[in-house]
Amino acid sequence: MLHITDPQVAELLDFRGVADVLAEAFQDLADDKAAVHGRQRTDCAGTKLSTMGGVWAARNVAGVKVYPTVAGQFSFAVILFDLSTNTPVAVLDGNELTRFRTAAITRMVASRAVAPSPRKLALFGAGLQGRSQAHALCEVFRFDEICVVDPKADPAWIDRLHARSGARVRLTTAEKAVRDAGIVVTATRSAEPVFDGAWLEPGAFVAAIGTSTPKGRELDDTTMTRAARIVVEWKQQSLVEAGEIVLWNQRHLSEKYVDLPELFGGRQPWQLQQPGITVFKSVGVGLADVATAQLVLSRARGGWLLASDEARP
Ligand SMILES: NC(=O)c1ccc[n+]([C@@H]2O[C@H](COP(=O)([O-])OP(=O)(O)OC[C@H]3O[C@@H](n4cnc5c(N)ncnc54)[C@H](O)[C@@H]3O)[C@@H](O)[C@H]2O)c1
């Protein structure tokens, strides 16, 4: 069985490629050619073991991501099976894979749901995930301004983001960041709301990716109540895992929720018919990990590993 390490995964992936493969996988989920294996969590003495996965029948692969959580830190691995031979074919370190697929899913949803092109991005949390969220979105949107809210943000990264995006990038307060922002991303470890939803522009797109437990939330009730629509990856998992939904005092407003199978299946339009706030609440689903792992494996087999960019097929 092939073992693909985190540095190799990082070498093999790019945000656009992952966003494209995620779109294919969720289209197949809408067409009953793929299925999500929902997350299972087992707690013991302050640590946790979680598993999540998926079957992508259209591509003849199935797999699981498994990760312990120790002192709040994750360590991910993915095991992939070839269904045509019914054999395990690869085990992948999952830390880089998770980083890519989490940023790519925000990019995939935003690129379909956001219009017109936003000029300002507000980013809460410039850690591992937050930095990748900004990079993935800057490949799709041309921001004039990026406001970063994070007391621990690395000033050198702020400079690099400016060089990479061409936007004015500055560290600022929560209110200054959210006001006038077309896109707001929250990627913190906060269990409490990180901004007041009253500050949001009427047409803002908000991506909350930071918590996946029902006890914590980055978005407040005002944001959820003001949202015209709440997009989630997969209702069966998201509606019970997302603290933003579970703790929201009007969580029973089910007509606001739409998931990716409904959007890819054409049962709901990607763009709002009337101007309004869209919330994308991501908790992470296993089909995204399997689809991304399948992309890694096919690129590894196709000779991408250690090839220079010019040599890539
Ligand atoms: N949705 C998904 O699929 C998915 C996948 C992976 C990780 N996550 C989640 O993303 C979150 C971030 O993960 P990470 O690895 O980037 O963590 P990290 O520790 O590297 O970064 C978090 C950053 O948030 C900042 N921060 C904390 N509270 C803040 C606040 N109130 N306002 C602004 N900034 C604040 C911290 O200073 C830190 O720099 C975690 O909660 C993790 O569980 C979600």
Q: Which segments of 157-216 are extended strands (E)?
A: 168-171, 183-186, 205-208
Residue 166: CA count within 13 A, CB half-sphere: 7
If you ran DSSP here, which 8-state letter would residue 97 be given?
A: H
How close is the Cα of 210 to the center of ligand 1, in Å?
Answer: 5
CA of 105 to the centre of ligand 1 (A): 16
Q: 113-281: same fold as 2-98+286-300?
A: no
Q: Kindly give the number of the ligand 1 atom that is closest to the alpha carbon of 149.
A: 33
pLDDT at 311: 46
Q: Which sign, positive or negative, has the C-alpha torsion 173, 112, 94, 46?
A: positive
Fold classification of 2-98+286-300 (topology level): ornithine cyclodeaminase, domain 1 (3.30.1780)
Q: Is 102 in the pocket of ligand 1 (CB under 6 A)?
A: yes
Cα dist from 69 to 66, 76, 99, 127, 279, whole Å: 10, 9, 16, 18, 27
| Ranges of each domain in the chain | 2-98+286-300, 113-281
Evaluate: CB of 237 within 6 angstroms of ligand 1.
Answer: no
CATH no. of 113-281? 3.40.50.720
Q: Which of 6, 189, 218 to mutate to test the pocket of ligand 1 (most atoms within 8 A of CB)?
A: 189
The per-residue pLDDT string of the chain (313 residues; one tens digit each, 9 = 90 and over) reads: 999 999 999 999 999 999 999 999 999 999 999 999 999 999 999 999 999 999 999 999 999 999 999 998 999 999 999 999 999 999 999 999 999 999 999 999 999 999 888 999 999 999 999 999 999 999 999 999 999 999 999 999 999 999 999 999 999 999 999 999 999 999 999 999 999 999 999 999 999 999 889 999 999 999 999 999 999 999 999 999 999 999 998 888 889 999 999 999 999 999 998 889 999 999 999 999 999 999 999 999 986 654 444 444 4
Q: What is the pTM of this model?
A: 0.95
Token pair listed for 280:
């994308």
Ligand 1 lined by 282 (C-beta under 6 Å): yes
Ligand 1 atom closest to the Cα of residue 216 is 41
d(CA 158, CA 124): 13
